[in-house]
Structures are given as structure tokens and as C-alpha cells.
A and B are shown apart, each in its own frame.
Chain A
Amino acid sequence: QQQVKQSPQSLIVQKGGISIINCAYENTAFDYFPWYQQFPGKGPALLIAIRPDVSEKKEGRFTISFNKSAKQFSLHIMDSQPGDSATYFCAASIGNNRLAFGKGNQVVVIP
């Protein structure tokens, strides 16, 4: 059973545009929600993470929006660049122990 579900599966964005990836979770005990970026042949790299006591967190061009009542959170990539072309994974955990990952979203930023 997929505990964390991502949408859309893939996304094509123009350079300078906004990429938005959504994630939904089932387990209300989850209390830590990170986003990872992965390039082909590499391990996932932590981008940004949020805890449910805040509704939004911003780091540079990356923003997480969190909706506890809807059990959803999303990643916004502002001013998308070709170097942002990668696969993005949302994840969730209880107490930042074992992470449950979504299936990933492939983002392609075209010049």
C-alpha cells in the first residue's frame, strides 16, 4: 500500500516558470515531510522539509505548502531552470525515522 502518493507523474515547464508537485499521505501520525531531488545515477538529495506545525516553508526558489486537514503537501519551484530537470520525491515519516517515499515526479524544464 502506497502511503504517500504524488501527482502529476511528469511535468514539463518553461524556463522561468513555476513547477508544482503535489503529494498526499494517509497516515495522520506522520510528522516530518521532506522533498528530495534525484538526478539519474545519483542518490536522492534533500531539498527542503517541513513539519506539520507550519503551513509553509521557503528556502531560496523552493517552497513547501502544507495542508494538514487535507493531508496534502506540495513543492513549488519558482523561476524553474534547466538544471532543475530531475526526479522529485516526496516522503513522510514519524519522527524522521524510516522514510516512506512517493513514486516520484519527473520534471523537465525546457529553455
Chain B
Amino acid sequence: DTGVSQDPRHKITKRGQNVTFRCDPISEHNRLYWYRQTLGQGPEFLTYFQNEAQLEKSRLLSDRFSAERPKGSFSTLEIQRTEQGDSAMYLCASSLFYGQSSYEQYFGPGTRLTVT
């Protein structure tokens, strides 16, 4: 399968714990995006990378959230001191940026986080 993969698919954690999610993009894609989706809503943009550089972060992304893409391939999203409001589906997407053009974003299956 050459699509975007995310791990784990589900995570249940207690309030105050730290969690880390991983995203592996489509292999030739140099852009990687993180979104968050709560029940009944559309995905909300969190941050994105081009290769290893983090180019944009949403104001939604509090200081407890950090994302990395150290070698320009996979990415991790860490949430520290989780809160119940962090419960959501965390989606990763990837795309190709070439020349001056950015192409379609393809999403992974998501990681569903439940904070108890």
C-alpha cells in the first residue's frame, strides 16, 4: 500500500499524560500536513512541513503540541499534558510541491485520541 499511513489508529490516554503519533506520507511527497477533526466537524489545519522545515502553524496549536519531521520523511505529533478537549481524530495528509505548484493532499486514516 503506497498511501499515507498513521500509527497508532486509536489511542486512549489519561488526562495529563503525553502522547505521540506518527505519520508516514506517500513516499515521493515532500509536503506533510496535520489536521484535527472533532465529531461533526470538518478537519482543522494544525501545521505543515515542506521537507523537514515547519512552514506554518495554526493558532489552534497550543504550546502543548509539537510536531517534527526530522529527515523530511515521516513526522511525529506530540501532545504533552493531554486534556479532555484534545480528544479528536488527528489526520495527516501529504502532497507534492514542485516548481511553484502544490498538488492534491491525500489523507491517512487518522489516529483517534480519547482522553479520559
B65 within 8 A of A: no
Q: For residue A103, which residues in chain B have a CB less than 8 angstroms away from its CB?
A: 40-42
Please encode chain B, from 3 to 19, with 1 for each CB lying within 8 Å of some chain A CB and 0 for all others.
01000000000000000
Query: How far does the alpha carbon of A41 sit from the alpha carbon of B109 in the complex, in Å?
Result: 8
User: Do A89 and B102 have beta carbons less than 8 Å apart?
Assistant: no
Q: Which of B44, B102, B107 contacts A45 (CB 8 A)?
A: B107
B56 within 8 Å of A by Cβ? yes
- The smallest beta-carbon distance between B36 and chain A, in angstroms, is 11
Quick check: is A8 within 8 A (CB to CB) of the other chain?
Answer: no
Size of A's binding interface in residues, CB under 8 A = 22
Residues of chain A contacted by B95 (CB below 8 angstroms): 96
Chain A hits for B107, CB < 8 A: 36, 43-46
In the complex, what's the smallest C-beta–C-beta distance from B35 to chain A, in angstroms? 8
User: Quick check: is B32 within 8 A (CB to CB) of the other chain?
Assistant: no
Contact status A43-B33, CB under 8 Å: no
Set A4, A34, A43, A100: member contacting B108, Cβ < 8 A = A43
A42–B103 Cα distance when bound, in Å, is 22
A1 at the binding interface (Cβ < 8 Å): no
Q: Which of B43, B44, B95 has the most CB of A within 10 A?
A: B43
Contacts of B93 in A (CB 8 A): 43
Give the residues in chain A near B105, CB-CB below 8 Å.
Answer: 34, 46, 96, 99
Q: How far is the CA of A46 from the CA of B94 in the complex (A)?
A: 12
Residue of B nearest to A89 (CB): B42
Give chain A's interface residues, CB within 8 Å of chain B: 4, 34, 36, 41-46, 49, 89, 91, 95-104
Q: Return 15 A-B CB contacts under 8 Å, by A number.
A: A41-B112, A43-B91, A43-B107, A43-B108, A44-B91, A46-B104, A46-B106, A95-B101, A95-B102, A97-B48, A98-B56, A99-B35, A101-B42, A101-B44, A103-B41
